[in-house]
């Protein structure tokens, strides 16, 4: 699970890259869950939360950029 402070320190391109990786990981986790089960189903929840945190920070940055 990523900390919000660490996310805020990352640049926007880094966040976009991380977001893509997390979405891929989420897809794989959901696929594993559907086919043969997961050892830790809570991992899906953690990945979804990380995606939401990154989206929040990116949205905040876009709002700040449009106000300037």
pLDDT tens-place string over residues 19-44: 999 999 999 999 999 998 888 989 99
Q: Find the range with the poorest average confidence among 24-28, 48-52, 55-59, 60-64.
A: 60-64
Burial class (CB in 10 A: 0-12, 13-18, 19+), 60: exposed
Instruction: Give every CB contact of residue 24 below 8 A, 6+ residues apart in sequence.
Output: none
Is pLDDT above 80 for 68?
no
| CATH code of domain 12-67 | 1.10.287
Spans of all domains in the chain: 12-67
Q: What is the mean pLDDT of residues 50-67?
A: 93
């Amino acid at each position: 699970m990523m900390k919000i402070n660490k996310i805020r320190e990352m640049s926007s391109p880094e966040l976009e890259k991380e977001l893509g990786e997390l979405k891929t990981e989420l897809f794989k986790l959901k696929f594993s869950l559907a086919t043969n089960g997961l050892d830790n189903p809570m991992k899906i929840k953690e990945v979804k939360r990380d995606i939401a945190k990154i989206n929040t920070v990116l949205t905040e940055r876009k709002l700040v950029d449009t106000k300037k």
